[in-house]
A and B are shown apart, each in its own frame.
Chain A
Amino acid sequence: MTKSVTLSVKDGKIREAVNSFLKELFNKKTIDAMLVPLAHPAGTNVVQALVTKAVFVDKADVFAPVMPVNSARLIQSITRLTTVDRKTAVVLRPCEMRALIELAKLKQVQLDKLVLIGIDCPGAYAVNNYPKFAAEKKSDDFVKAGFQWAEDTMLRTGCQICEYPYPLTADITIGMLGLDPSKQILIQANSAQGEEILSKAGMSLEIDSDLAQKRQTAITKFAGEIKERRKEFFEKTKREIGGIEKLSKVFAQCIKCQNCRQACPVCYCRECFFISPTFELDADRYLRQAEKKGALRMPSDTLLFHLTRMNHMGNSCVGCGACEEACPNDIPLLKIFQLAGSEVQELFSYVPGRSLEESLPATAFKEKEFEQIGEK
């Protein structure tokens, strides 16, 4: 049974309560640094920042409904070559944490000395849309409104069909599922490290089976609903984009800027195959390719680029939607990747980011697998 404690929220000031908790982690010297979303002074964005002084935590706004980049990518930048040498907490949305776990399996991040703090996430708006929200409302209002996937049409598509809005591999969870966040926020220790840090921070942890039960009930209820919603969504998507003709229609507006792969947290190659010498064709090759068909779409291999990316990354797609948000022409990449991704993931009974122990389907050989195909 996990141990937890609740933060009481005074006058509905959720952000303040969470920030004072995060600050306490600094003050009690349980951590030395923190990657945490801070409100940008411009008021139009909330961005991840690597903080080493507690005072900056006052600016934190972890529930603000915007995710400019998937933070797994940031942690990759920090830890790919070397581990952090002091305890660094990273405050992540569930999809960011799942991407982080995928990157860890791919040896692109090193989790040593990292403390994973996950939040229950009611979703986010596109960076473009956030200023509209921020002009009228605060993140506390957003949290109090609760989980609004079906109703809030401004939410990013990925958030609307999010399967896991709660962290799966956190050391510490900042939770609201199953309780009223305007009154209290859950702080849960999900690992030995999490428990140690919370105790050191002076929090009196206990096993609250009532609270745990409420949370579990909320999660179970949600899981049932989202399953239906995803099914509906995928069926609709199939009608919209199924088959090569419809698919090429969807990609008609693609300019092959490759922003999608730049934004994708699990697309980890140092040099994408599509910018490698293999795709540096000489004039003769271009002309010969054109000759074959009579007309060659330029830039060439646009659809191949997307299909290859899907082939490489479909299994690890966590559905964060960073690709779709990065697309300058609003190609519904999240839809396409989630549709294909969820189907292959199901074939391998694989949930990306569920556990570090679960090996990537391409890298694990199981004697009994895919018995419907080939030799038994």
Chain B
Amino acid sequence: MKRKIGVYLCHCGSNIAGYLDVAKAADYAATLPYVVVARHYSFMCSDPGQDMIKKDIKELGLNGVLVCSCSPTLHLRTFRAACAEAGLNPHLCEMATIRELSSWVHSHDRVAATEKAMALIAAGVKRVLYRNPLEAKWAPVNPNTLIVGGGIAGIQTALEIASAGEKVYLVEKEPSIGGRMAQLGKTFPDLDSTEELLIPRMEMVKTSPNIELLTYSEIAEIGGYIGNFKTTINKKARCVDETKCNGCGECWAKCPVEVPSEFDYGMRKRKAIYIPFSKAVPKIPVIDRKNCKYFIDGSCKACESVCPTKAIDFKQEDKKIEIDAGACIISTGYDTFDPSPITQLGYGKIDNVVTSPEFERMLNPDGPTGGKIVMKNGATPKSVAIAHCVGSRDQNYHQYCSRVCCMYSLKYARLIKQQLGADTNVYQMYIDMRCFGKGHEEFYKQASEEGVNFIRGKIGQISTETITDEEKGKLVVVCEDSLLGSMIRVPVDMVVLSVAMKPRADTADISRAFLLGRSADGFFLERHPKLDPVGTMLDGIFAVGCCHGPKDIGDTVAQATGAAARALELISKGRVDIESATAFVDEEVCAGCGVCESICAYSAIEVNPKTKLAKVNEAICKGCGACAATCPSKAMQLKNFTHKQLIDVIDEATKDFAGLAK
């Protein structure tokens, strides 16, 4: 086929034409081999600009197009679509970035900028020359969605998708859904009971015909690609038959074993057969096999003997379940920072120094104290200090701000005053007050007006050593008041440490399994902080809620709803476009060393152990080219980016252009 290439230079208003000689560059382009037409125009991306290309394709029979303008990220799609409309395979259209790489960076030297544009155009024409038409490829989308993590983020996403009539698998590793939100007392800034907000939604998950709930389950394996993920779930043995159990509670009432409850941070006991909290969904207990007497020495079967539905099944085993899904939502939540390493705060050593999650349990009516704020001896505190930024904004622990602590610390102050009386002294030891959300600043103002004491400074020490009579029997909070510029001692009955939110302990495992990137703070990395805060680098996988970074419930729900929309977008489209410029293997040359296989970030390459040849799964390949760059014999290449082509293009771009623009 005789190549006929059209070259189109864009003025981009004065962005390009103001700094280089587009007419001269176009004249030069016209002299290049195979170029049959070279034009320049004020805005190539405008309708008249695109029409110019379409007209030439039809009238001059172009079979290659080079648009010399901005970057391909901005407009490659536009120009390829225009070419396709005129009947040219879109892969025969290329761009030369003469704006970002020439006019903008060489705005001080018109001649040099023009010469560089010529080099980029010459190289671009070579690129077009080597391009082959590629077929557009697509794959069908499985309409199911897999959600990993059943906190408020996962619940919200599941409900949104299910209410649109699509199937959801909600996988939760704990015995009940609810996540961290279920542990909290009240929300800010409206002081609503979390229970009233959350429990109805948990019940909706249970009753929705479109949601299949898999609690006490974890992801064992994941493979596949957008639209077609294949996962294996490990459903851990509950030792209770879920189809028989009616949640009557006879078993945990009878169980003789008591161990500290994880859900209550050890503030009360649970049984060896238990539900984590009274409103658990599903209300089906699990047997903690590590502590159950039957599993230790076979000495007890109390639960089995009292169970009215014969649901106890000591022989139950872990089960593998295979789930196919088109989209995956990761909503695995966060852990809280353990402040024991900050020894000067005395956590774990001094009574009545508690963490914020523990304090939340105290505020929860279903919690270990029945919603009462009490000290270890059962008395009510007369004064409480709240330490902000414990483990957050701290070079030694987490540099980031946990975003919610200022607000929940204010919430504590107001709830303490509500419950224990307005005369209770509450101190906030803060670095900066960050109350930026809707209604948050007002909430802060209200707390101030209610007489909460604000001390700007970090706590230096919490101590039981007292000096004055006033301090006797109290905890002394020693801190610097940085507004006064002096050290102060504040005697209080109780200290709440507002601890940082941090990535879950198993974040690394999840990130490996789903091939998710992580940002420097350890949380999952979004595709784009502004334009795609829900997506991840892997198509079809979305990260929502606090596994993506600290955020409050409102932001979490907003993000979850966004992810649901993204999953539904996929489902309603029903098909996914697949990259056409994928890698391919020259089987004559491939030595089967597998370096490409191990370097592929998308697991798109496999070496066949029999033939000793690498094989590319084109549905997964993103055309990134890492394999092609790594392969020492260059058996691995990228369609339309072959090595011969690249070397030729470099050769062309490094020709001598001096003097051409004068």
Q: State whether A277 touches B644 (Cβ < 8 A).
A: yes
Query: Known contacts being A108-B591, A270-B590, A375-B520, is A276 close to B633, with CB within 8 Å?
Result: yes
Q: Does A360 contact B (CB under 8 A)?
A: yes
Binds A, one of B143-151, B230-238, B592-600: B592-600
Within 8 A of B (CB), among A273-290: 273, 276-278, 285, 288-289
Is chain A's binding surface mostly helix, strand, loop or mixed? loop
Q: Does A359 contact B (CB under 8 A)?
A: yes
> Which residues of A have CB within 8 Å of B643?
273, 276, 278
Query: Known contacts being A107-B592, A288-B651, is A272 close to B599, with CB within 8 Å?
Result: no
| B612 CB contact (under 8 Å) in A80, A313, A367, A376 | A80
Name B593's closest neighbour in chain A (CB-CB): A106
Q: State whether B591 touches A269 (Cβ < 8 A).
A: yes
State the CA gap A312–B635 with chains docked (Å): 14
State the CA gap A364–B595 with chains docked (Å): 10
Q: State whether A359 touches B598 (Cβ < 8 A).
A: yes
Q: Does A268 contact B (CB under 8 A)?
A: yes
Name B610's closest neighbour in chain A (CB-CB): A81
State the CA gap A141–B595 with chains docked (Å): 44
State the CA gap A217–B591 with chains docked (Å): 42
Name B646's closest neighbour in chain A (CB-CB): A278
State the CA gap A271–B656 with chains docked (Å): 33
| B595 CB contact (under 8 Å) in A270, A278, A288, A363 | A363
> Which residues of A have CB within 8 Å of B651?
285, 288-289
Q: State whether A272 touches B630 (Cβ < 8 A).
A: no
State the CA gap A39–B109 with chains docked (Å): 73
Shortest Cβ distance from B565 into chain A, in angstroms?
32
Within 8 A of B (CB), among A287-309: 288-289, 291-292
Q: State whether A271 touches B588 (Cβ < 8 A).
A: yes
Q: State whether B633 touches A270 (Cβ < 8 A).
A: yes
Q: Does B259 contact A (CB under 8 A)?
A: no
Shortest Cβ distance from A359 into chain B, in angstroms?
7
Name B611's closest neighbour in chain A (CB-CB): A81
0/1 interface trace, chain B 562-598, chain A, CB 8 Å (1 if under): 0000000000000000000000000011111111001
Q: State whether B594 touches A107 (Cβ < 8 A).
A: yes
| B633 CB contact (under 8 Å) in A81, A269, A291, A367 | A269
State the CA gap A319–B654 with chains docked (Å): 37
Q: Does B632 contact A (CB under 8 A)?
A: yes
| A276 CB contact (under 8 Å) in B520, B589, B655 | B589
> What total count of A-B pairs have CB within 8 Å?
70
> Which residues of B have CB within 8 Å of A268?
591, 593
Q: State whether A363 touches B647 (Cβ < 8 A).
A: no
Name B654's closest neighbour in chain A (CB-CB): A292
State the CA gap A285–B607 with chains docked (Å): 36
Q: State whether B630 touches A107 (Cβ < 8 A).
A: no
Query: Known contacts being A106-B593, A106-B594, A268-B591, is A273 close to B634, with CB within 8 Å?
Result: yes
Within 8 A of B (CB), among A353-369: 359-360, 362-364, 367
Q: State whether A270 touches B589 (Cβ < 8 A).
A: yes
State the CA gap A324–B588 with chains docked (Å): 29
Shortest Cβ distance from A62 into chain B, in angstroms?
30
Shortest Cβ distance from A314 into chain B, in angstroms?
12
Name A312's closest neighbour in chain B (CB-CB): B632
State the CA gap A272–B599 with chains docked (Å): 21
Within 8 A of B (CB), among A243-291: 268-273, 276-278, 285, 288-289, 291
Name A268's closest neighbour in chain B (CB-CB): B591
Q: State whether B632 touches A273 (Cβ < 8 A).
A: yes
Q: State whether B591 touches A270 (Cβ < 8 A).
A: yes
0/1 interface trace, chain B 626-662, chain A, CB 8 Å (1 if under): 0000101111000000011001100100111000000
Name B508's closest neighbour in chain A (CB-CB): A367
Q: State whether A271 touches B595 (Cβ < 8 A).
A: no
State the CA gap A252–B599 with chains docked (Å): 36
Query: Known contacts being A107-B592, A271-B633, is A278 close to B656, with CB within 8 Å?
Result: no
Q: State whether B599 touches A107 (Cβ < 8 A).
A: no
Query: Known contacts being A107-B612, A270-B590, A292-B656, is A360 close to B595, with CB within 8 Å?
Result: yes
> Which residues of A have CB within 8 Å of B520?
375-376
0/1 interface trace, chain B 500-528, chain A, CB 8 Å (1 if under): 00000000100000000000100000000
> Which residues of A have CB within 8 Å of B654?
292
Name A80's closest neighbour in chain B (CB-CB): B612
> Which residues of A have CB within 8 Å of B599?
362-363
Name A277's closest neighbour in chain B (CB-CB): B644
State the CA gap A106–B590 with chains docked (Å): 12
Q: State whether A107 touches B633 (Cβ < 8 A).
A: no
Name B597's closest neighbour in chain A (CB-CB): A363
State the CA gap A285–B634 with chains docked (Å): 21
Q: State whether B598 touches A108 (Cβ < 8 A).
A: no
> Which residues of A have CB within 8 Å of B647?
278
> Which residues of B have CB within 8 Å of A375?
520
| A362 CB contact (under 8 Å) in B612, B630, B655 | B630
Q: Which 8 A-B pairs have the closest CB atoms?
A: A269-B633, A363-B598, A106-B593, A312-B632, A271-B589, A270-B591, A278-B644, A278-B643
Instruction: A268-B593, A288-B655, A360-B595 are known; give 19 further A-B pairs, CB within 8 A.
Output: A106-B593, A107-B592, A107-B607, A108-B593, A268-B591, A270-B590, A271-B633, A271-B635, A272-B633, A273-B643, A276-B589, A278-B643, A278-B644, A291-B656, A292-B656, A360-B598, A362-B595, A375-B520, A376-B520
13 contacting pairs across A/B (C-beta < 8 A): A106-B591, A106-B593, A106-B594, A107-B593, A269-B632, A270-B588, A271-B589, A276-B634, A278-B644, A288-B651, A312-B632, A313-B632, A360-B595
